[in-house]
Amino acid sequence: MGSDYFEARLNAKNSMVQLNLDSLRLEAEMFYDDSDYSYKGFSCDYSLAQYFCKSIADEIGKEPVIFSDVEKYCAFTPLPVENYYHCVDSSGISITTNVFPGKTGYCDGKTFVCPAKSTSITSEELKKIGEAEFRKELNGFFMKVGELSFQIWIGKKDNLPYKFTFEKSVDINKFNSKENGEITVKINAEFSEYGKPIKIEIPENAMGLDEIFKEEIDKMEKQESFYRDYQRKSDMNRLQSIMENHFVSNHSKYFQSKSMPTEIEEITIYKEIGQGPCSSYKWISNFENSQKYCAWACLESGKFYIVSQSGTRFEANYQPAAFNQCEKSSSPAASELMPSESISEGKGGFFSQEASIGKIIQRLFKK
């Protein structure tokens, strides 16, 4: 139980550091817009970046490294798993790697790129590496402690234990070279009155170890869920920024696609980060309408984060089935459009809007 708990905690710390650094990408784009289209000066001192920088520092003891210039930026941080790093840059890269991002030619203040994608490792691979490292450190701890021995007295007739003694002295210098001395642990326990009833009263509001660990793990999982939802919103806001820039530079026409685009003008569109209610980000086809678009992310909070033309962005209790439902002022109430019925899959993976709207009308007439 204890080993599983600490491994889970290490994995959670890795995830939170990664998600916090990824969240800085949105803040960098907002800084860019607020600074006359320049990244120069973007750092942890930027008000909207401070929260995420502090969250990273809380996990690993220091803020991420950020370098920025007029047209580019990059940021990286070590992860709790030793010799592994997470890095993001203005080209859209978000990578976990064992290549030090601060080396010459990468994110060093003269160049602003993360290590190559070929060095990337997946979250599952990092999890396995972290678990192996934890076990290695645990073994190292017991190697420093040294041999453990104890004595136990067992009754000849009943084979029951009657006495247990343990004593161990450990040299502190083995764990901290700046400290000297010994720590001694002694245990002397005696057992008797077998077979006699013992009444043990559990203190009021007492919690077992399982409950304590569960509460802590649940808390970490909620934090991870919050950060994943924040990342989904960040990805949607970034997509919106790319779409609006395309509109300005392409004669007042939005990028058109039948399904969620993977790339717009050589800019990569981020994919759903996983572990959420939907396997991908959603999109209503605007292939025949260059003046509108609508995309959304399914949040673990149970809501949906919607972005559309002219900078509209909001959370809703439904998935939109038509462009007018992507505009906050005309969004249907949750009672009119339930999440489970809000959208259906058509042929080729496109959304069948008529079926969903038909269900809404039927419900309205039944009322």
The answer to whether the CB of 23 falls within 8 A of the CB of 238 is no
Radius of gyration of the chain (CA): 28
Q: What is the pLDDT of residue 199?
A: 83
Q: Regarding predicted confidence, which is higher, 115 or 20? A: 115
CA-based torsion, 237, 239, 244, 249: positive or negative: positive
The answer on pLDDT for 172 being more than 50 is: yes
Q: What is the pLDDT of residue 46?
A: 92
Q: How many separate domains does the chain show?
A: 3
pLDDT band at 356 (very low <50, low <70, confident <90, very high): very low
What pTM, to 2 d.p., does this model score? 0.51
Q: What is the pLDDT of residue 5?
A: 54
Q: What does the mean pLDDT of the chain come to?
A: 81
Q: What is the pLDDT of residue 348?
A: 29
The answer on pLDDT for 48 being more than 80 is: yes
The answer on pLDDT for 197 being more than 50 is: yes
Same domain for 261 and 350, yes or no, is: yes
d(CA 91, CA 266): 10
- Amino acid of residue 249: S
Same domain for 325 and 221, yes or no, is: yes
Same domain for 94 and 159, yes or no, is: no
Same domain for 225 and 289, yes or no, is: yes
The number of CA neighbours under 13 Å toward the Cβ of 78 is 10
- Ordered alpha helix ranges (H), the chain: 2-34, 47-60, 123-145, 209-249, 353-366
d(CA 316, CA 328): 9
SS3 (DSSP) at 245: helix
Same domain for 68 and 141, yes or no, is: no
pLDDT band at 129 (very low <50, low <70, confident <90, very high): confident
289: phi > 0 → left, psi -120 to 50 → alpha, else beta; which? Answer: beta
pLDDT band at 208 (very low <50, low <70, confident <90, very high): confident
157-161, 219-223, 319-323, range with the lowest pLDDT: 219-223
Model confidence over 234-257: pLDDT tens digits? 889 889 888 988 898 898 999 999
Same domain for 153 and 277, yes or no, is: no
Same domain for 165 and 264, yes or no, is: no
pLDDT band at 349 (very low <50, low <70, confident <90, very high): very low
pLDDT band at 214 (very low <50, low <70, confident <90, very high): confident
Same domain for 249 and 350, yes or no, is: yes
d(CA 143, CA 73): 44
Q: Measured between alpha carbons, how far is residue 32 from residues 17, 28, 42, 56, 243 in Å? A: 23, 6, 8, 22, 16
Same domain for 237 and 354, yes or no, is: yes
Q: Where a domain ends, among 121, 139, 157? A: 121
Same domain for 253 and 141, yes or no, is: no
The answer on pLDDT for 165 being more than 90 is: yes
d(CA 135, CA 72): 40
**Number of neighbouring beta carbons within 10 Å of residue 101:** 24
Q: Does residue 198 fall inside a structural domain?
A: no
- Amino acid of residue 329: S
Select from 48, 49, 44 the least CA-distant residue to 63.
44
d(CA 305, CA 299): 7
Model confidence over 10-29: pLDDT tens digits? 777 788 888 889 888 878 88
Q: Does residue 200 fall inside a structural domain?
A: no
**Number of neighbouring beta carbons within 10 Å of residue 216:** 14
Question: What values do phi and psi take at 25, rounded to 5?
Answer: -65, -45
Q: What is the pLDDT of residue 8?
A: 65
Q: Give 51: exposed, middle or buried? Use CB within 10 Å, 0-12, 13-18, 19+.
A: middle
Q: Does residue 203 fall inside a structural domain?
A: no
Q: Domain containing 145: what range? A: 130-190
Q: Does residue 202 fall inside a structural domain?
A: no
The answer on pLDDT for 121 being more than 90 is: no
For the segment 39-45, the average pLDDT, to the nearest whole number, is 95
Q: Where a domain ends, among 190, 224, 240? A: 190
The number of CA neighbours under 13 Å toward the Cβ of 202 is 5
Select from 15, 18, 36, 38 the least CA-distant residue to 28.
38
Same domain for 143 and 271, yes or no, is: no
Select from 69, 81, 61 the least CA-distant residue to 38.
69
The answer to whether the CB of 308 falls within 8 A of the CB of 293 is yes
Give CA torsion, residues 326, 92, 96, 35, to 10 deg.
Answer: -100
Same domain for 357 and 220, yes or no, is: yes
Q: What is the pLDDT of residue 227?
A: 77
The answer to whether the CB of 304 falls within 8 A of the CB of 317 is yes
Model confidence over 294-341: pLDDT tens digits? 999 999 999 999 999 977 889 999 999 999 999 875 444 433 333 333
Q: Regarding predicted confidence, which is higher, 205 or 1? A: 205
2-34 and 209-249 helices cross at what angle (nearest 10)? 20
Q: Which residues pair with 152 in a beta bridge?
A: 164
